[in-house]
A and B are shown apart, each in its own frame.
Chain A
Amino acid sequence: MTSDVRGHRAAPLSLRALATVATVLLAGPGVYLLIRNFTSDADPAGLLISDRTTGPLWRTLKLATLVSLSTAVLGTGLAWLTTRTDLPFRRTFRVLLTLPLVFPTFIGAAALVRTLNPGGLVNDLLSGVGVDRTPTVDGLSGSWLVLTLFTYPYVYLPVAARFARLPGSIEQSARLLGNSAASVFRRIILPQVAGSITAGTLLVYLYAISDFGAVSILRYDTLTRAIASNQLANRPVALALSLLLLILAAAVVLAERATRRRYSKVAVARSMTAAQVPLGRWKWPLTGVVAFVVLNALGAPLAALIDWSVRGLERGRRNGRGLTVDANEIAEVTWNTLRVSAITAVAAVLLVLPIAVLVGRYRSRIGGIGHAVAISTFALPGILIALAATFFISASDWTFDTFHNTMVILIFSYVVRFAALAMGTTLLAVQLVPQRVRDASQTLGASSGRRFISVELPLMLPGLLAAGGLVLLSTMKELPISLLLSPFEFETLATRIFSTFNESFVAEAGLMALALVVLSFVATWALIIRPTERSTARETESLRQR
């Protein structure tokens, strides 16, 4: 175990300055909402007692709570199975289990519904064996199911990363001392990953309250619907409801913080590679469970997307209307998506890094505030972040001429939207640098900046890549910010999928959604899976040599 120096010394001024700047930038949407609420006739307090608000508010809370619980269990279970057991095909599962994250919910949920609901593809398959009508996925249960399937990766990814670095010796000794497997998991393993589980579950909660795409397709009425309905009809009500959403998010973030006993200490692997718990007779049933999750979360939407695409391509051949996209356009838009998302990923990690270092190593009020601001902002629908950016750059001629419709404002807004995703994993990466490494380099007289770049950064790299990877996957599917703030003539896969899908050009939308899945498959492997495996392999190798 490493010794904790948090709170023992003050953070360097430069670090505090960087973290302050980052926090101010991230607070933009919240400040915008406050200003707009005060400058319009909005009455957030009055709304709280109106039936029109309490219904959607209650439904939002119910859904977010249910989805959080189910993703916490599912994400943790899947992470354990794919990292610490002898589950067959676990390397393949590790990539596949990340991918549901990439579906923009407006098309992901619609595709899933197209496959599973009555008259859908599964119904067609099962009609041969006498199933007349498959059950309808909708309402609270449907939204719960679909959001669980699309958001468990927020829990799965950090927990799997944590499991991969947890020494196997803990389990081995505990088992040798006669504890049952279940008791080892509950008493030894779970406390070690509890921090990652809560951080991931918090993201799920906030995502669930911000989602509009899935709940609207599934006909479940939440706050985001109430906001959308009032955007043009009654602007003050929309603004007040949005502020309510942010206050709700902040309350959840603070509540989570209050119940958490400081940031969990990180045990560093000292043993050989993590022990593989033999699943024994549970092996194949559990493989079935994991495969079933993949089948529903990934297979079901993909089936509809492929069906739409194939019918579209056939239509071209039987002289129907031609497709409105061609291979060149898809390639160009895919490239746009990749480069803008890659830059966003790097920028997001760089922006949250000073905050993460402050939180992870020092006792600092700025760090705590920055952390809470970044995380709470994740609950705001993207459109609000885009409008906030537009509001601020419209403050003066200079800012407008410099930033309007530029890559800078687009990427900046993505960063604000997804900083929360980068935060958790970056914080973990910061904490993973052992104190003795920092002490040693300090003793050798390296300056703090050089020390950080040459000694600590390489150690953090796998964690930072995973943080960036999460941001990358989310940016690739982001819609409202991309639609509103992209430079003229700059389109991403998500914006083209939206504009085609919304007008029922389902074949075009299907083809581009498939391009998005392929792109995220490659990105997941390159940024999240491979670096983690390589760094674990390197550590194992160095331990063996010792």
Chain B
Amino acid sequence: MKRSLPVALIIVALTVVACGSGASTIPNNLEGAAATIYAGDCMEDTGNEVTVYSGRSEDLVQPVLDAFECATGISTLTNFGDPTDLALALTEEGDRTPADVFLSKSPGAVGFLRNEGLLSPLSSEITRLVDGKNVAADDTWVGITGRQRVLVYNVDEVDAAELPSSVFELTDEKYRGRVGIPATNGSFQDWFTVFRAQEGDDVAIEWLEAMVANDAIKTESNRPTVDAVGRGEFDFGLVNHYYNFQEAEALGDAHRAKNHTFASDDIGSLVIVTAAGITSSSENVAAAEELISFMLSEEAQTFFTTDTLEYPLAAGVDPASVLPSLNDDGADFDVSFDTLGNGLQRTVEIIDESGING
């Protein structure tokens, strides 16, 4: 009796060693969210396989990958994770990496990989699918969806009259100690890098230091910021639009926050893209490009806006009706995200030096 536990553990150990991880198999047809993307019968398995390092969550991306497998007969193997961690792993793996496609939540990680020489240029067949501002200058990555920067606010604590039309107004005395800034977060850093490129370092540094002087609250990332504003711990947060929708969907009326969009020509309402690229060591470029094209197809883009509530970037798909429309006559920021990889180092230095971290 007293030996049963170790014996049981050894049996468990053997079981695990015995079952290797099997590759996914393609079903005959799709169910659930994936079926809204591709409704037909599935193609026969071609034996071809694309390996994906996904810095975007499984809950947002897996239905598209399933639909892709079904529609093309190309199977996918995915490693989901944090985009920063996956990018670092790729640098350690170098040419040996099995990854063909890299998906990122924001341009920072793909910009970093491009600088490390780990991404190869995409063909014009893909890059022409989206607006030029959402493509890297050397075509190494392409935007898939957009997340707009917004000001999330607590509906019980904030008067509509208090809502600013520009991010520059937040340095005003009336916002003292009320604004959360996820300064450690990738999407804020990417936004700040574009801000610097657009307005110049002097203006950007002055703004951030004024925010710090105005007792802005440093937060960690978008979700906890939206959570805190929803509870009324503080009144405002500078975040991506997407999180408040998910939080409201999850909590219903208990979530007391709404998004406010700055004026369309204000840097505060920039759209940050999620991005995809192909590794320079990929030996399966054709299939990898097919996957990225699929993510930019009308069906996938429709899924991304209706189900994951992001802004579509391709195929003429309109944003879901719950999303405020992006004002087309707003100024196009003539800064592409391309500067991000190089600018990130200086951005982090500026943020550190502003004293917002502590």
B-contact 0/1 string along A364-394, CB 8 Å cutoff: 0000000000000000000100110011001
Contacts of A282 in B (CB 8 A): none
A442 within 8 A of B: no
Q: Which of B10, B22, B231, B352 contacts A119 (CB 8 A)?
A: B231
Contact A229 B184 (CB under 8 A): yes
Q: Which of A320, A346, A404 contacts B98 (CB 8 A)?
A: A404
Say how far A488's CB is from chain B's closest CB, in angstroms. Answer: 4
CB within 8 Å for A311 and B251 given contacts A217-B220, A504-B223: yes
Q: How many residues of B contact A (CB 8 A)?
A: 78
A145 within 8 A of B: no
Say how far B163's CB is from chain A's closest CB, in angstroms. Answer: 20
Question: What is the CA–CA distance of A219 and B182 in the complex, to the nearest angstrom?
Answer: 10
Comparing A110-118, A158-166, A429-437, the segment that makes contact with chain B is: A110-118
Contact B82 A483 (CB under 8 A): yes
Say how far B229's CB is from chain A's closest CB, in angstroms. Answer: 9
Contact B352 A390 (CB under 8 A): no
B80 within 8 A of A: yes
Contacts of A217 in B (CB 8 A): 220, 224
Residue of B nearest to A534 (CB): B2
CB within 8 Å for A233 and B348 given contacts A343-B16, A394-B93, A484-B89: yes
Contacts of B77 in A (CB 8 A): 488-489
Question: What is the CA–CA distance of A499 and B82 in the complex, to the nearest angstrom?
Answer: 9
Contact B247 A504 (CB under 8 A): yes
Contact A339 B220 (CB under 8 A): no
B286 within 8 A of A: no
Contact A483 B85 (CB under 8 A): yes
Say how far A213's CB is from chain B's closest CB, in angstroms. Answer: 9
Question: What is the CA–CA distance of A232 and B104 in the complex, to the nearest angstrom?
Answer: 13
Say how far A132's CB is from chain B's closest CB, in angstroms. Answer: 11
Contact B58 A499 (CB under 8 A): yes
Q: Which residues of A74-125 have CB atoms within 8 Å of chain B's CB atoms?
A: 110, 113-114, 117-120, 123
Contact B247 A387 (CB under 8 A): no
Residue of A nearest to B63 (CB): A324
Q: Which of B24, B80, B218 contacts A221 (CB 8 A)?
A: B218
A184 within 8 A of B: no
Comparing A12-20, A191-199, A255-263, A505-513, the segment that makes contact with chain B is: A505-513
Residue of A nearest to B154 (CB): A119
Q: Which of A221, A346, A465, A507 contacts B250 (CB 8 A)?
A: A507
B103 within 8 A of A: no
CB within 8 Å for A506 and B13 given contacts A483-B82, A488-B23, A500-B59: no
Q: Which residues of B236-272 have CB atoms within 8 Å of chain A's CB atoms?
A: 242-243, 246-247, 249-252, 254, 256
Say how far B232's CB is from chain A's closest CB, in angstroms. Answer: 4
Q: Which residues of B16-60 have CB atoms within 8 Å of chain A's CB atoms?
A: 16-17, 20-24, 32, 51, 57-60
Say how far A504's CB is from chain B's closest CB, in angstroms. Answer: 4
Contact B351 A229 (CB under 8 A): yes
Question: What is the CA–CA distance of A59 and B218 in the complex, to the nearest angstrom?
Answer: 16
B-contact 0/1 string along A242-267, CB 8 Å cutoff: 00000000000000000000000000
Say how far A342's CB is from chain B's closest CB, in angstroms. Answer: 5
A502 within 8 A of B: yes
Q: Which of B89, B96, B250 contacts A386 (CB 8 A)?
A: B89
Question: What is the CA–CA distance of A315 and B51 in the complex, to the nearest angstrom?
Answer: 35
Q: Which residues of B96-119 have CB atoms within 8 Å of chain A's CB atoms?
A: 96, 98, 108-109, 112
Contact B93 A390 (CB under 8 A): yes
B226 within 8 A of A: yes
A521 within 8 A of B: no
A546 within 8 A of B: no
B86 within 8 A of A: yes
Q: Which of B5, B218, B254 contacts A311 (CB 8 A)?
A: B254
Q: Which of B79, B86, B228 contacts A117 (CB 8 A)?
A: B228
Question: What is the CA–CA distance of A407 and B78 in the complex, to the nearest angstrom?
Answer: 16
Give how many A-B residue pairs fall within 8 Å (CB-CB).
202
Category for how many chain A residues contact B: 35 or more
Question: What is the CA–CA distance of A531 and B6 in the complex, to the nearest angstrom?
Answer: 12
A495 within 8 A of B: yes
Residue of A nearest to B116 (CB): A235
Contact B358 A114 (CB under 8 A): no
Contacts of B246 in A (CB 8 A): 503-505
A55 within 8 A of B: yes
B227 within 8 A of A: yes
Chain A at the B interface: SS class: helix
Contact B348 A234 (CB under 8 A): yes
B357 within 8 A of A: yes
A439 within 8 A of B: no
Contact A489 B21 (CB under 8 A): yes
Residue of B nearest to A490 (CB): B21
Say how far B292's CB is from chain A's closest CB, in angstroms. Answer: 19
Say how far B48's CB is from chain A's closest CB, in angstroms. Answer: 16
Q: Which of A221, A324, A407 contacts B59 (CB 8 A)?
A: A324
Contact A484 B249 (CB under 8 A): no
CB within 8 Å for A342 and B217 given contacts A504-B226, A505-B246: no
Q: Which of A216, A308, A488 contacts B184 (CB 8 A)?
A: A216
Contacts of A228 in B (CB 8 A): 84, 184
Q: Which residues of A494-542 have CB atoms within 8 Å of chain B's CB atoms?
A: 495-496, 498-508, 526-527, 531, 534
Contacts of A390 in B (CB 8 A): 89, 92-93
Contacts of A311 in B (CB 8 A): 250-252, 254
Contacts of A483 in B (CB 8 A): 80-82, 85
Looking at A119, A315, A345, A484, which has the most chain B CB atoms within 10 Å of its CB? A119
Contact B57 A502 (CB under 8 A): yes
Contacts of A505 in B (CB 8 A): 57, 59, 246, 250
B15 within 8 A of A: yes
Question: What is the CA–CA distance of A404 and B226 in the complex, to the nearest angstrom?
Answer: 38
Contacts of B315 in A (CB 8 A): none
CB within 8 Å for A503 and B9 given contacts A483-B81, A488-B78: no
Contact A118 B17 (CB under 8 A): no
Residue of A nearest to B247 (CB): A504
Question: What is the CA–CA distance of A171 and B146 in the complex, to the nearest angstrom?
Answer: 68
A52 within 8 A of B: yes
Q: Which residues of A335-352 have CB atoms within 8 Å of chain B's CB atoms?
A: 339-340, 342-343, 345-346
Residue of A nearest to B61 (CB): A499
Contact A220 B358 (CB under 8 A): yes
B-contact 0/1 string along A47-63, CB 8 Å cutoff: 00000100110010000
B347 within 8 A of A: yes
CB within 8 Å for A231 and B84 given contacts A315-B252, A489-B24, A507-B250: yes
Question: What is the CA–CA distance of A311 and B251 in the complex, to the nearest angstrom?
Answer: 6
Contact A342 B231 (CB under 8 A): no
Residue of A nearest to B76 (CB): A488
B71 within 8 A of A: no
Say how far A351's CB is from chain B's closest CB, in angstroms. Answer: 14
A-contact 0/1 string along B199-217, CB 8 Å cutoff: 0000000000000000001
Contacts of A324 in B (CB 8 A): 59
Binding site for A on B (CB under 8 A): 2, 5-6, 9-10, 12-13, 15-17, 20-24, 32, 51, 57-60, 77-82, 84-89, 92-94, 96, 98, 108-109, 112, 184, 189, 217-221, 223-224, 226-228, 230-233, 242-243, 246-247, 249-252, 254, 256, 307, 344-345, 347-349, 351-353, 357-358
Given A491-B58, A507-B250; 5 other pairs, CB 8 A cutoff:
A315-B250, A404-B98, A504-B246, A505-B246, A505-B250
Shortest Cβ-Cβ A-B pairs, 7 listed:
A119-B231, A221-B358, A504-B246, A487-B21, A216-B220, A233-B348, A483-B81
Question: What would 28 A/B residue contacts be, using CB atoms closer than 8 Å?
Answer: A55-B358, A113-B224, A113-B227, A114-B231, A216-B184, A217-B220, A217-B224, A219-B217, A221-B357, A232-B87, A232-B109, A233-B345, A315-B250, A342-B13, A343-B13, A346-B13, A387-B92, A390-B92, A407-B17, A461-B6, A480-B82, A480-B85, A484-B85, A499-B59, A504-B246, A504-B247, A505-B246, A506-B251
